[in-house]
Structure 1
Amino acid sequence: MKKQLYKFASVIMAIAILLSGFGVSGATASPVAADDGGEIAVIVKTGNSSFWQNVQTGAMDAQKELRAQTPKLSVTFLGAQSESNVNEQINIVESAIDRGVKAIVLAPSDTKALQPAVKKAKEAGIPVIIIDSKLDGDPSQYVSFLATDNKAAGEACAEALIEGVKKATGKDTGKIAVMSYVAGVGSEVGRVGGFKDYIKANSKLEVVTTQYSNADMPTALNQTTNVLQANPDLVGIFGANEPTAIGMGRAIEEAGLSGKIVAIGFDGNSVLKEMVVDGTLNSIAVQSSYNMGFMGVKTAYDVAYAGKTVPAVVDTGFLLVTKDNVDSTEAKNVLY
């Protein structure tokens, strides 16, 4: 691969900016007295994956640090039963508004459906920090957006797949498949869109199908099994988030195709790491989900409690992990 490390300098810079309080913001809120305690609600797409559990770890570590300044601070963590259950997430946000939280850190499950709830939070004087997935509409409705540059990450995955196919076959032609998660969610639009655009612009590979697992591992396993059976000449495949990539990898293993098809995954829990080590996956693009939780809560606190201005956009970074760098310090810092 031409590149292994992506955007970690920007993560360091972003943290420095957050700690210093400099930057610009599309919204303001009246600061809360430090001894008032209060709640910062972290609301994610679902709690049922290790990616979001790592976001929770970051959020709770931020709470521990911030309690030195605000001993009664409470950071709560909630998510829907599944990433596709948008209405449940809307209800969770509205419940947080109704109980008067001091700030909300939100990973929206839909680019449009969460807009009214976020607007309602602003009208109630509650600053909202968006993490992971972009929210469409007026950006002044929320304070800051912290996420992976999903377009760049998707492009890096496409580059890895093209290079893998070239190495295996000597050419950049053939059929590939995309195993995605929830259609239309902000991270998926950027990630899968970036992947497909890069494939089209830089190779002669043909995407023969795009499947949506609703971020459900067994669904992804079954879908991948069907795709592999229907396309025995497939040369590459991309699994675009954690449960989807795990299901894809297990289907590859069950079909006896480990090391025989170029497979790129996304996210970095222990299962995906082992799939890289054993050769089932060529590489995985690993986001800093911990940073999303930690920096999201710190940003919310800076706005709601300290009255600071914060950056409108923060890139939390990603790393392409392969068998060659899986044991590096950089990889260990993002794998979970």
Structure 2
Amino acid sequence: MNKTFLLSMMVFAVALGCKSDAPDSSDDSAKTKNDKPRVALIMKSLANEFFSTMAAGAESHQTQNAEKYELTVNGIKDERDLSRQAAIVGEMVAAGVDAIVIAPADSKALVPALRKAIKAGVIVVNIDNRLDVEVLKQENITIPFVGPDNRAGAKKVGKRLAKELAEGDKVAILEGIRTSFNGQQRLLGFKEAMKEAGIEVVDSQSAEWETSKANTIASSMLSEHPEIKAILAANDSMALGAIAAIRSAARTKDVKVVGFDNISAVQEAIREAKVLATADQHGDQLAVYGIEAALKMLDDPSLAPEDVETPVDLITAASMNGESLE
């Protein structure tokens, strides 16, 4: 009986060994087939309509392509909260996402966190606000930028404004966050258009993309420079602040406003002749362009990261009515 028992145990052990050593090919293949790339969209403040529109566009795209990828949408409460946005990058890496599509709140400060993500094997695509080229070189990484030419877009807006002004007129500029590349480029575009038209920029200050701060600064500008004929705002949220300041100063008939982003509130302001023009960088599609670029890179890892320029269009009352801007 002892021999029979020992023989039975040996046969049982061999059987267990065969089962544990054999690869579970059915489970692995099922996992490979069912797993979809996980993409994290990391934006700036969702309190800004531009970014809530961006999020909605991305979510709509994922719904239409649910079989292709999964999407996680993140944003920060305050566009100046760089540490929180960097922390979100780390959280997404720890969560095991395959790609990060980011609209960085700062062109330099987010680069180290993104370098860590790349080192962890995550594909990174930069949208909306271009990361600083020199800092990317210092960190020895390449991150493709998918987005519009902000300088060209702002220049289009500035040139449209110049048609309403005379040579020698004075204007002021509400800048975005000064460490943001898109803010820098829009400022340059505005200044180029004014210089070419012989219009003087008498004041230029940062309102950090915020409506309330723009209202306060614009009020001060109008008080210190009563000769101002227009305010050029580097985003539409600040344009709304400028409108309120102009209304409070009883200057609605003689001070014009232009913006950048084409949010719904400014579309209405254009219809009401409170804003002359804005630029549409197609916020509802901007994240989609970035997601599609990330999916291509995930599908073919041999693809070299490369920039993609996306559209930016001038929006006026005429264009909204379907009239030619020529």
2:310 corresponds to 1:316: yes
User: For the structure 1 residues 249 and 125, does the alpha-carbon distance in structure 2 shift closer, same or farther, using more than 3 Å as the test?
Assistant: same
Question: In the alignment, what sits opposite 1:84?
Answer: 80
- Cα distance, 1:185 vs structure 2: 0.2
**Which amino acid in the other structure matches residue 323 of structure 1?**
A
| Structure 2: segments with no counterpart, 5+ residues | 1-30
- Cα distance, 1:288 vs structure 2: 0.8
- Between the aligned partners of 2:112 and 2:273, the Cα distance in structure 1 is 45
Among 208, 223, 234, the residue aligned to 2:202: 208
Question: In the alignment, what sits opposite 2:213?
Answer: 219
Q: How many residues align?
A: 291
Question: In the alignment, what sits opposite 1:21?
Answer: none
Q: Is the 8 A contact 1:253 1:280 kept in 2?
A: no
2:178 corresponds to 1:183: yes
- Between the aligned partners of 1:330 and 1:112, the Cα distance in structure 2 is 40
Question: In the alignment, what sits opposite 1:273?
Answer: 267
Q: Is the 8 A contact 1:258 1:281 kept in 2?
A: no
Q: Is the 8 A contact 2:58 2:288 kept in 1?
A: yes
Question: In the alignment, what sits opposite 2:284?
Answer: 290
- Cα distance, 1:91 vs structure 2: 0.9
Q: Is the 8 A contact 1:129 1:142 kept in 2?
A: no
Question: In the alignment, what sits opposite 1:64?
Answer: 63
User: For the structure 1 residues 55 and 141, does the alpha-carbon distance in structure 2 shift closer, same or farther, using more than 3 Å as the test?
Assistant: farther
**Which amino acid in the other structure matches residue 144 of structure 1?**
P
- Between the aligned partners of 1:138 and 1:241, the Cα distance in structure 2 is 26
- Cα distance, 1:328 vs structure 2: 3.0
- Cα distance, 1:38 vs structure 2: 4.6
**Which amino acid in the other structure matches residue 319 of structure 1?**
D
| Structure 1: segments with no counterpart, 5+ residues | 1-31, 166-170, 332-336
For residues 156-185 of structure 1, the C-alpha deviation after alignment (integer angstroms, 9 at most, x for no partner) is 1221221111xxxxx311221001221120
2:260 corresponds to 1:262: no
Question: In the alignment, what sits opposite 1:138?
Answer: 136
**Which amino acid in the other structure matches residue 48 of structure 1?**
A
Q: Secondary structure at the match of 1:238?
A: strand
- When Rg is computed on C-alpha atoms for both structures, the one with the higher figure is 2
- Between the aligned partners of 1:65 and 1:310, the Cα distance in structure 2 is 27
Quick one: higher RCO (CA 8 Å, sep 6+), 1 or 2? 1
Question: How much is the aligned-residue C-alpha RMSD, in angstroms?
Answer: 2.3
- Between the aligned partners of 1:311 and 1:254, the Cα distance in structure 2 is 49
For residues 85-130 of structure 1, the C-alpha deviation after alignment (integer angstroms, 9 at most, x for no partner) is 1111111111111222110001111111111111111111101010
Question: In the alignment, what sits opposite 2:51?
Answer: 52
Which deviates further from its counterpart, 303-312 or 236-245? Answer: 303-312
2:326 corresponds to 1:327: no
User: For the structure 1 residues 260 and 101, does the alpha-carbon distance in structure 2 shift closer, same or farther, using more than 3 Å as the test?
Assistant: same
Q: Is the 8 A contact 1:133 1:187 kept in 2?
A: yes
2:111 corresponds to 1:112: no
TM value normalised by structure 2: 0.83
Question: In the alignment, what sits opposite 2:41?
Answer: 42
- Between the aligned partners of 2:268 and 2:189, the Cα distance in structure 1 is 26
User: For the structure 1 residues 65 and 115, does the alpha-carbon distance in structure 2 shift closer, same or farther, using more than 3 Å as the test?
Assistant: same
Q: Is the 8 A contact 1:63 1:297 kept in 2?
A: no
